[in-house]
Amino acid sequence: MPPRLAATKFVAYGDSITEGFVQRCASTTVEDGGALRIGFLFAQGRAQPSPTAYPAKLQELLAARYASQTITVVNEGQGGEDIQSGVANLARVLTTNMPEVLLLQEGINTINQSHRDGIPLVVEGLRTMIQEARSRSILVFAATLLPERPGGCRAYDYDEGFDDIIEANVQIRRMIGTQGAVLVDLYEAFNGRTAILIGEDGLHPSALGYQRIAEAFFVAIKRYLEE
């Protein structure tokens, strides 16, 4: 008998790192997997889901292992979303999709905009989103923030000379441990490998980085949900 999962309907929620397009610096267009984005700002409206995004790669991994089940991983990443918008939009997303599992990775836009002042906003926003999902009996896999790569055109974390992401993740890990969610430590999965896992803009993952995120979630899902 092939292995089975206790849940089969997943929603991946977050910002452009969940949305999953590879981003570059020295161009007015960004092309990835046949999808075209105009300029550094994301075009209005939803494009076709990126085939490079971690939700697409995660669904491939899950489908290969749990072949007797139909597993869906819906990509609800929204480029440019900050933590306040994430909190505001989550209830609608959960009502629309009715997942059994929420995959949550959010907060870097608020950190990059507000630096240290944004850390408590991110921690509390993530806490609120976890509580919203759990109030609906949805299991949450919540991730830490990715490291940024110094020198990239969007490596904003280093603008004031302090690595806010490290401190944010200390608090995020602590909070997740008190909320009944499963921690997926993406920072540790990327740490020491940013040269290949973070793209040239210093902020968004490379294609290999998106695959690495998928693998990290896959390992956690297998550990907690495989029957």
Give residue-wise pLDDT tens across range 149-181. Answer: 988 899 888 767 778 999 999 999 999 999 999
Is 2 within a domain? no
Q: How many domains does the chain have?
A: 1
The range of the structural domain enclosing residue 145 comes to 9-225
Is 1 within a domain? no
pTM of the model: 0.90
Q: Alpha-carbon distance 105 to 145, whole Å?
A: 7
Q: Alpha-carbon distance 147 to 153, whole Å?
A: 14
Is 125 within a domain? yes
Is 176 within a domain? yes
Is 160 within a domain? yes
Amino acid at 163: D
pLDDT class of 40 with cuts at 50, 70, 90: very low
For residue 175, the tally of other CB atoms under 10 A from its CB is: 18
Pairing of strands 35-38, 29-32: antiparallel
CB-based contacts of 224: which residues, under 8 Å, 6+ apart? 139, 141, 182
